[in-house]
Structure 1
Amino acid sequence: MKISYLLILLSLTLGTPSQIDVSEVRTAYIKASGDEQAVEQLNSKLISVTTTDDKVLVAYKGAVGTMMAKYAKGLKDKKSLFKEGVSLLDYAVTSDSLNVEIRCIRLSVQENAPKITGYKKNIDDDKAFILKNYNSMTDEGAKKFVKGYALRSKVFNDNERQLFQGL
């Protein structure tokens, strides 16, 4: 009896993926860049997300995992966290390859990944995919996220950024 009560209490405290608001995750992801405490908070929020959940949340969890690697102590932990994050992110892309937001999340990770990781091979493909499919996006929150990223990213040139300005 006590164990089942504790499990229920724990699940309510940690939250389940169905209770995670994607729009809050988007906002937190943007704010987390370069802020260790914000990265850790977002990681805690996404800890219960698994590959069976919404693939956008899986992509964010993977991206945050790669961000956690930056703050890990020791090369072994950095490498492990980064690989785990990449694995989740690539799984999300494979599972929903037509999702512009997921491709943008991967682009953001690859653009900012240290060269030593070798995780930069999809930059051109993801950029082209985003440029081609941005206008077909229906989720306004996701569209705003992608537009905001494209306007700040060094991957997109001035002419490409102008395509987002009028949208």
Structure 2
Amino acid sequence: MKFLFAFISLLSFTMLSIDLDIVRIAYREAAHDKTKVAALNEQLASVNKKDDIVLVAYKGAAITLRAKYEKSLKEKKRLFIEGVSYIEFAIEKSPNAVEPRFIRIGIQENTPRLLKYKSNIKEDKLFLLKQYKTIKPKILKKHIGEYILQSKAFSDEEKAVILVP
């Protein structure tokens, strides 16, 4: 009986867990498509700061994307601060993790200057370039590579680093 309970618990946990590859794709799409922001936020609604730090960082990014489309300045600011707190928490908990740094640089590069959230671009850029060749899984490496190639934060010389096989 204990085995059956454990099996059912494990099965339900697996079914409720969030597929990181799906989140990665959803984030990428939401970053360029206003209509996909709500779905990304809904997908990550159950994530809290006790979960995997990568999911925490994606939740923060989803919240900041949501802030972008709010009508009220007060709500924009509240959501932006909340989203940034998740991203910074993830990086604080795991400073050598690539994905939260990738998320942060994407948010910082695309945030208006008046929000004063741009102070880590250089640091994250260097970190990503240094770690690029060792990034796993392939889908993440592909997303980061495509981001670097289109980013204005990276010079042509830096972009060439990721083009070398």
TM (norm. structure 1) is 0.86
Listed as ranges, the matches of 1:10-159 within 5 Å are: 19-159=17-157
Check 1:17–1:132 CA distance in 2 against 1; reply closer, same or farther (3 A cut). Answer: farther
Please list every run of 5 or more consecutive structure 2 residues that lacks an aligned counterpart in the other structure.
1-11
Alignment coverage as a number of residue pairs:
154
* Alpha-carbon distance in 2 for matches of 1:61, 1:47: 8
Distance in 1 of aligned mates of 2:23 and 2:110: 19
How many Å separate the matches in 2 of 1:46 and 1:82? Answer: 16
Letter in 2 for 1:19: S
Cα shift at 1:17: 9.5
* Alignment partners' CA distance in 2, 1:18 and 1:59: 19
Please tell me the root mean square deviation across aligned C-alpha atoms, in Å.
1.8
Deviations 1:70-127 (Å, cap 9, x if unpaired)? 1112111000000000000000111111011210110000000111110000000000
Distance 2:133 2:31 in 1: 26
Counting aligned pairs with the same residue, the percent is: 45
| More displaced 10-residue stretch of structure 1: 136-145 or 92-101 | 136-145
The CA distance in 1 between the partners of 2:66 and 2:118, in whole Å, is: 18
Residue type at the aligned position of 2:99: E
Instruction: Report runs of 4+ in structure 1 exceeding 4 Å deviation.
Output: 15-18
Provide the rounded CA distance (Å) in 2 between the counterparts of 1:124 and 1:150.
13
SS at match of 1:154: coil
Contact 1:32 1:39 in 2 (8 A): yes
Give, in angstroms, the shift of residue 134 of structure 1: 1.5
Change in Cα spacing, 1:18 to 1:96, as seen in structure 2 (3 Å) is farther
> What does the per-residue CA deviation read over 1:17-44, in whole Å, with 9 as the maximum and x for residues that have no partner?
9521111111111111242220111010
Structure 1 unmatched runs, 5+: 1-11
- Structure 2 SS opposite 1:53: coil
Deviation at 1:145, TM superposition (A): 1.8
